[in-house]
Amino acid sequence: MAVNFKPRKVEFHTRSLANGLQVIAECHPEAYSVALGLFVGVGSRDEPREWSGISHFLEHMAFKGNERYSAEELNAAFERIGAFHNAMTDEECTNYHLAVLPEYWPRALELLGELVRPSLDPRQFELERQVILEEIRMDEDSPPFGGEDLCRTLYFGEHPLGQSILGTKETISALQPAMMRQYWESRYGPDTSVLVATGRVDFAQLVEKAEEVFGQWKPCGYRRQITPVQPQDRFSVMCKSEAQQEYVIHLTPAPAGLRDWVAVWLLTAIIGGHEGGRMFWEFVEPGLVETLDIEFEEYQGSAIFEVSMVCQPEKAQENLDRLFEFYRRLASQPIEPQELEWAKNKVSSGLVLASERPISRLAVIGHDWLLEKRYYSVGELLQLVAEVRPERIMELLEEYPLDRGTVVCVGPVESLSPPFEVPAEGCVLQG
Amino acid sequence: MAVNFKPRKVEFHTRSLANGLQVIAECHPEAYSVALGLFVGVGSRDEPREWSGISHFLEHMAFKGNERYSAEELNAAFERIGAFHNAMTDEECTNYHLAVLPEYWPRALELLGELVRPSLDPRQFELERQVILEEIRMDEDSPPFGGEDLCRTLYFGEHPLGQSILGTKETISALQPAMMRQYWESRYGPDTSVLVATGRVDFAQLVEKAEEVFGQWKPCGYRRQITPVQPQDRFSVMCKSEAQQEYVIHLTPAPAGLRDWVAVWLLTAIIGGHEGGRMFWEFVEPGLVETLDIEFEEYQGSAIFEVSMVCQPEKAQENLDRLFEFYRRLASQPIEPQELEWAKNKVSSGLVLASERPISRLAVIGHDWLLEKRYYSVGELLQLVAEVRPERIMELLEEYPLDRGTVVCVGPVESLSPPFEVPAEGCVLQG
């Protein structure tokens, strides 16, 4: 594919402040908006097991006021400038981000600065604890009814990547402000964070303002321990009698830390799911399943493929068996040149379309810089995609067979047979 | 607010083909992509009651092949050009849309043309029937567990706007290809459709290509009957014992067909929800509810506000009572100038941010032209927003009090008292 992509005048800049805070920006003078984000390299994998969920709880508390502003004043200040702000916590990162009209970015940056020194007021802490417990209940009310957390726990075993982002009712109920204060002091600092801007912003002004807002922030000295994952082969059936569909989640090892990681994007596009690819043609298009998808998730030091399937309960066993038979065929089916070309078209369009908004670029750039210390422009990514050869994808398929890992089935079916070899102690019945 | 918005060189064009198909485009030579959509003015409100769900089912069948292409070939053709394509059916419109890199739009337009003459192959029809039945089951598995459809049915009574988009298990099971053929022939035509393009596309070329692809399409002669809605005051509790949270949906009349409809956007921004506004401050911020939001939905000839709330079951009655007490206070609380200014900032930012991608503009432009025959550039919309005065919003609040309509509660709570006056026959217990 000759991608006829003419990027606008986009410039990438980086600078470190004296306290170690990295400031990075993809400046685009023609954009309509500015997106700003503070990406803190702290997430559920950094939590002591008995404090599970504390990173996400802390993210909520960031909006609940500090010494200068009450929660009301802080929220009102965001409202005043018409900012669309939000925050997200995952396994490795807590990010606070917003999109504003260009004239408001300096004020928006000041407000980001207010978020990282929460007062953790005990009354607010109790209120927010209830909010988190409600989030957990809503999550359990929604398909796959907690099945994703269970699957991670089984797959990662004792490894901290298996811990839930939301935490459990038990850990959340036991947390106290003093613990969070200690966690915050030991994890949040300019040395664990990156300030990111995209869109219509001037880099020199950004650095100057960042120095003013974050210059006094003290390093925390935290360094994440990266320990190897021991992926577990497990099979579990969680009976949820009132559900009408069967929900299947499957985690399996994927390549991590590749120099040509875009080859894995192409691999998942070829395997496919709801919008094309082999699983689409073999399962979705003929109506065997309602949905079937594969995603690639990379963490520091490890990576997984996550396959999710939804189907009629009475077809669950047949589909499971067929899916694993499909996996086993992958390494012996050559990648057709046309198949790879289509996958490249798909991935390339996706990259270009996602680059149209500063707020979309922010997420990619911030995450990549924080965790991998890498930056690629959209043009460079398109080039990397164009260079991947079919043999490389075959190599990856041989090295990372999908027919192992952990499978969790949630739905009305009471019993299913594992579609792959699982040690006897690996079959778990939940209910 | 002085919105410092410098729109790029965007031009709006319209043309009618000889067969009546309207072609409209917002051309933007600097965009990265092209978005195309065929908006057909047919949805659930156009369905005979016993064929409920047929519009959405037909949308699915559009991708299942025609005389020229099999389903496989059609999907492969979209895949080949890396198109992100999708389709959506609502009460009044079925739209087929896609985003592609600029060089592929002519081919993409040809493919849109293939969608509107499905062969409705009986074998594919049976397969797709199962897919739709699975969608219905997945919908019932997810919060609010069918509560939204129930609320619409109660609120709209016999009016066709009360019909479910997905249909029911009974109607979907009874549909036959011949019925769909008849429905399609009587509803789909150039006279009920609009072809819409946004992004980096040349209008003269677009019209030429549209003539080639759609020029032979015959008018169907359909005209929607717009009958007045008789909003029903109803209160219903649907007990779902295994749910952990209580889900509340409330529909109430809203102003329709206003010349200054943006005043209603500001009204909902002031009432607010998850990102600010009065309900945020009174309910969300102090942790009384998990979520609370208000949305404005306009149809031809009528409109509704839809309020949704999620909270702990034990607080459901208290929150319901408090919500209606809040509604009753609205008309007597003046709109503060500052409150209106913030709402304007919010709505204006939202407009600008949504205009950054051709695919986002497509949805707005297509819907507005098809249903209201109106077009406003982002700059014009910002102007309309700036002009709204607080007195106008007070007028609307007085004219459209929120403390009536239909309320449906779904969750573990078995019994709740209506927080407003409902005729005895209006209280319905489901479950």
Q: In the structure, what pLDDT confidence band is assigned to residue B272 with cuts at 50, 70 and 90?
A: confident
pLDDT, tens only, A284-298: 988 999 999 999 999
Question: What type of residue sits at position B165?
Answer: I
- Listed in sequence order, the residues at least 6 apart from A6 whose beta carbon sits closer than 8 Å to its beta carbon are none
Between the CA atoms of A275, A281, A287 and A291, what dihedral angle is there, to the nearest 10 degrees? -40
Whole-number Å distance between alpha carbons of B10 and A312: 48
A69 in B contact zone (CB under 8 Å): no
Cis-peptide into A231, omega within 30 deg: no
Residue A350's Cβ-side half-sphere holds a number of Cα atoms within 13 Å equal to 15
CA distance A109 to chain B (A): 17
Residue B398's H or E segment, with its range, is: helix B390-399
- Beta bridge partners, A410, equal A238, A247
Q: φ and ψ at B216, to 5 degrees? A: -90, 0
With CB atoms and an 8 Å threshold, state whether B245 touches A134: yes
Q: Please choose, from the candidates B201, B115, B210, B196, the residue with its C-alpha nearest in 3D space to the C-alpha of residue B364.
A: B196
pLDDT, tens only, B310-331: 999 999 999 999 999 999 999 8
- How many residues are recorded in chain B? 431
Q: How far is CA A200 from the centre of its chain?
A: 26
Q: Please choose, from the candidates A323, A327, A306, the residue with its C-alpha nearest in 3D space to the C-alpha of residue A406.
A: A306
CA distance A79 to chain B (A): 6
A353 in B contact zone (CB under 8 Å): yes
The shortest CB-CB distance from A138 to any of B130, B275, B310 is to B310
Whole-number Å distance between alpha carbons of B145 and B310: 13
Q: Are B311 and B321 in contact (CB under 8 A)?
A: no
pLDDT, position B276: 81
pLDDT, tens only, A308-340: 999 999 999 999 999 999 999 998 999 999 899
Q: Please choose, from the candidates A170, A64, A75, A172, the residue with its C-alpha nearest in 3D space to the C-alpha of residue A121.
A: A64
Distances from the Cα of B349 to the Cα of A34, A80, B216, B263, B366, angstroms: 11, 11, 42, 16, 21
B421 in A contact zone (CB under 8 Å): no
- Three-state secondary structure call for residue A403: coil
From A42-56, A384-398, B344-358, the region with the lowest mean pLDDT: B344-358
pLDDT, position A275: 72
Q: How far is CA B282 from the centre of its chain?
A: 28
Q: Are A136 and A12 in contact (CB under 8 A)?
A: no
Question: What type of residue sits at position B190?
Answer: P
pLDDT, position B200: 95
Q: In the structure, what pLDDT confidence band is assigned to residue A6 with cuts at 50, 70 and 90?
A: low
B239 in A contact zone (CB under 8 Å): no
For chain A positions 272-311, those within 8 Å of chain B (CB to CB) are 275-276, 280-281, 285-287, 290, 310-311
CB crowding A212-223: b at 16 or more within 10 Å, else e: ebbeebeebeee
Average pLDDT over residues A35-56: 98
Per-residue pLDDT for A273 more than 90?
A: no
For chain B positions 70-129, those within 8 Å of chain A (CB to CB) are 71-72, 75-76, 78-85, 99-103, 127-128
With CB atoms and an 8 Å threshold, state whether A101 touches B3: yes
Look up the CATH number of domain B11-214. 3.30.830.10
Size of interface A-B (CB pairs under 8 A): 171
Q: In the structure, what pLDDT confidence band is assigned to residue B424 with cuts at 50, 70 and 90?
A: confident
Query: Which strands, in side-by-side order, build the sheet including A11-16?
Result: A11-16, A22-27, A193-199, A34-40, A94-100, A84-89
ipTM confidence score? 0.89
pLDDT, tens only, B153-187: 999 999 999 999 999 999 999 999 999 999 999 99
B135 in A contact zone (CB under 8 Å): yes
In A, which residues are within 8 Å of B344 by CB distance?
82
- Dig out the tokens for B209 from the structure: 């290509």
Q: Are B43 and B93 in contact (CB under 8 A)?
A: yes
Kindly report the number of other CB atoms within 10 A of residue B36's CB atom.
Answer: 29
pLDDT, position A424: 80
Instruction: Find the residue in A nearest to B277 (Cα).
Output: A79
With CB atoms and an 8 Å threshold, state whether A357 touches B353: yes
For chain B, the domains span 11-214, 234-430
Per-residue pLDDT for B430 more than 90?
A: no
With CB atoms and an 8 Å threshold, state whether A101 touches B128: no
CA distance A195 to chain B (A): 21
Best probe of the B interface among A32, A308, A385, by most B CBs < 10 A, is: A32
Continuous H helices in A40-168 = 54-61, 71-80, 105-115, 122-141, 147-156
Q: Are A414 and A243 in contact (CB under 8 A)?
A: no
pLDDT, tens only, B3-45: 566 666 789 999 999 999 999 999 998 898 999 999 999 999 9
pLDDT, tens only, B297-312: 999 999 999 999 999 9
pLDDT, tens only, A204-232: 999 999 999 999 999 999 999 999 999 99
Task: Give the burial class of B258: count Cβ atoms within 10 A of its Cβ; 0-12 exposed, 13-18 middle, 19 or more buried.
Answer: middle
Percent of chain B with pLDDT over 90: 89
pLDDT, position A423: 86
Whole-number Å distance between alpha carbons of B392 and B265: 12
Per-residue pLDDT for A149 more than 60?
A: yes
- Three-state secondary structure call for residue A264: helix
Task: Select A234-430's CATH number: 3.90.180.10, 3.30.830.10, 3.90.1150.10, 3.40.50.1700.
Answer: 3.30.830.10
DSSP labels, A292-353: EEEEEEEETTEEEEEEEEEE-GGGHHHHHHHHHHHHHHHTTSPPPHHHHHHHHHHHHHHHHH
pLDDT, position B1: 45
Do A11-214 and A234-430 agree at the fold level? Answer: yes
Per-residue pLDDT for B2 more than 60?
A: no
A224 in B contact zone (CB under 8 Å): no
Q: Are B156 and B164 in contact (CB under 8 A)?
A: no
pLDDT, tens only, A91-145: 999 999 999 999 999 999 999 999 988 999 999 999 999 999 999 999 999 999 9
With CB atoms and an 8 Å threshold, state whether B142 touches A143: yes
Q: Please choose, from the candidates B276, B251, B253, the residue with its C-alpha nearest in 3D space to the C-alpha of residue B266.
A: B276
Task: Give the burial class of B424: count Cβ atoms within 10 A of its Cβ; 0-12 exposed, 13-18 middle, 19 or more buried.
Answer: exposed
pLDDT, position A426: 80
Q: φ and ψ at B346, to 5 degrees? A: -65, -50
Q: How far is CA A32 from the centre of its chain?
A: 27
